[in-house]
Structure 1
């Protein structure tokens, strides 16, 4: 069956610098990729300061718990978090820190170039690639700690996208979904397994220079349905008008790019009502069970986030016109408005 191409965006297939010698966006970097080919060493806060955003966010979902860790620098502050959620009791244990000038935050120049870490009096996060194609995630905060390995299966592909607002405002994001995870979580010194066959990790790696006032949607899901390993990666609002999208799905390790902007439907008065995310080649229902609400107002830094955790069902279609149906793919969908 012949089917129209799902994406008219350019696929990047070789190492490319995100910025030019002046620190502006390199137009050759605009596009999407299956591997993290972009060199982001120009986003270092030295040549241009004040609008740089750099972060590593990992989230791990298990049958019993959800764990997340964030290491970030937004030039004038480091914003870090360790969060654990008990799915049975719905107890949420979180610890965040905002560090002036991002002192002590370590972030690699480009993805894969080295570890990321942050440490405060009450919290520490360490993210490092280790042997055998895995990333080790270690975090500690009051009452909780975890040590998890997120594997990269042979042939596994991730979505990288460069989103251009202008030559001075742009973002490179890598969304690495459906990474099998295993390890251990401790809550109040009680040990919980992160079972290797039923736990999934997702990475959100970001490097760029953002507008001050921005809104976005992000949806991600990982799991198995039938005989397939499925990863879902969806974005909205922030890419509109740029010519880039961050929509894709991963089927048994292979990335399938979706080039269209999708329609997001959800109730901002009740985020726990079902969400609908649709397009020509994708039709999803997301049913949340928990809303992680974050409201931050630190003057210049303000954030309004509803990150809903739940499960996706529906179908998507690849460029050959082959549709894959699925149910029970766990993950999240979020609605964010940042002034930062």
Structure 2
């Protein structure tokens, strides 16, 4: 397949509200809510951060589907399969009141501070600071980017010419910080803890399904990051599949993620060109079910050990051994 790479700045949508398909490894397209040809309650915007090491994971969610919003934390030990802290605040009819940023890489601060829940994302150059406080729960995490590249795609949907998914994912961010909850303090050490940003904007069909996997770890003395996915939107012009290694980005074509009906059996991740062959051996299924208003979503985000290989643009094959990350399968109506 021949993917369309953006090399010049431009809009996400054309004058008729149709997505301009393609990908880049840095923020190059301009997202403008006013250009969207859809009812306000169909617009979806979220900023999701994940911080994990080889045993535990902390997730921050701040976003909305316009008629319903969410601010929440999930903190769990996937090695032992136990929850440590979990809370969500659902927001009815936010209609853009969260003031979500129009760019994933611009310096700024996104803050929610209401009803005893404080959450804040601060971006300063290559550093991102994540804070949250609610009752006895408190956390502050600092992420520092080690690879200047990202995965940025803009893809259409066959169901409608004005449906689109504009997505920006950043890997390879060593994480340092703490979580205090329930009288215990947990630490993330930058030597083996990494952060992920999943930044999404768009309008898509009410019923949808996707497979997604993302991870970062050390391979042969350098940081390797990957983003792999399939099933969501028309990816003929651009897939979300990419490797990050030694400060560079290595773009991939189409890929399949498969699993057994039992989500705790091994998953397979294999691309069409022979550049990815990974097996995930699960240890924890973080299943979430959301039913509110018109929303009915189910997501199995499964954490485990990845083994196999990936191939870089120059033909080098990297052996992956015991890299801890996740793969997920979501079926949504929202």
> TM-score surpassing 0.5?
yes
Q: 1:10 and 1:234 mapped to 2: Cα distance?
A: 18
CA contact (8 A) 1:295 1:303 kept: yes
| TM-fit CA distance, 1:115 | 2.4
| TM-fit CA distance, 1:87 | 4.4
Asked if 1:251 is matched to 2:245, the reply is yes
- The correspondence of residues 111-190 of structure 1 with structure 2, limited to 5 A, is 111-113=104-106, 114-130=108-124, 133-153=126-146, 155-165=147-157, 166-190=160-184
- The correspondence of residues 252-267 of structure 1 with structure 2, limited to 5 A, is 252-260=246-254, 262-267=255-260
Q: 1:20 and 1:44 mapped to 2: Cα distance?
A: 8
Greater fraction strand = 2
Does the residue aligned with 2:105 lie in a helix, a strand or coil? coil
CA contact (8 A) 2:15 2:35 kept: no
Provide the residue aligned with 1:295 in structure 2: 289
Figure out how many residues of one structure are paired with residues of the other and give that number.
Answer: 327
| TM-fit CA distance, 1:297 | 1.9
Does the residue aligned with 1:50 lie in a helix, a strand or coil? helix
Provide the residue aligned with 2:3 in structure 1: 9
Provide the residue aligned with 1:4 in structure 2: none
CA contact (8 A) 2:60 2:72 kept: yes
- Cα deviation digits, residues 110-160 of structure 1 (max 9, x gap): 2234322334424322111135x201111223543210011112x521110
Asked if 1:221 is matched to 2:215, the reply is yes
Q: 2:287 and 2:308 mapped to 1: Cα distance?
A: 26
Range with greater deviation from structure 2 (184-193 or 300-309): 184-193
Q: 1:118 and 1:45 mapped to 2: Cα distance?
A: 25
Give the TM-score normalised by the residue count of structure 2: 0.91
Provide the residue aligned with 1:71 in structure 2: 62
Provide the residue aligned with 2:196 in structure 1: 202
CA contact (8 A) 1:139 1:145 kept: yes
Range with greater deviation from structure 2 (243-252 or 271-280): 243-252
| Partner residue of 1:42 out of 25, 33, 51 | 33
| TM-fit CA distance, 1:212 | 0.6
- Cα deviation digits, residues 235-260 of structure 1 (max 9, x gap): 11113565431111111231111122
Provide the residue aligned with 1:324 in structure 2: 318
- Cα deviation digits, residues 11-46 of structure 1 (max 9, x gap): 112322112345x0242xx21111121211236889
Q: 2:175 and 2:240 mapped to 1: Cα distance?
A: 23
Q: 1:315 and 1:89 mapped to 2: Cα distance?
A: 26
- Cα deviation digits, residues 290-332 of structure 1 (max 9, x gap): 1111112224111011111112121112333322222122211
Q: 1:259 and 1:297 mapped to 2: Cα distance?
A: 34
Q: 1:35 and 1:61 mapped to 2: Cα distance?
A: 24
Provide the residue aligned with 1:312 in structure 2: 306
| TM-fit CA distance, 1:66 | 0.9
- The correspondence of residues 74-85 of structure 1 with structure 2, limited to 5 A, is 74-85=65-76
Provide the residue aligned with 2:99 in structure 1: 106
CA contact (8 A) 1:45 1:75 kept: no
- Cα deviation digits, residues 18-77 of structure 1 (max 9, x gap): 12345x0242xx211111212112368898412111110000002442100011121111
What are the ranges of 5 or more consecutive residues in structure 2 without an aligned counterpart? none
Does the residue aligned with 2:162 lie in a helix, a strand or coil? coil
Does the residue aligned with 1:85 lie in a helix, a strand or coil? strand
CA contact (8 A) 1:228 1:252 kept: yes
| TM-fit CA distance, 1:107 | 1.1
Provide the residue aligned with 2:226 in structure 1: 232
Superposed CA RMSD: 2.2
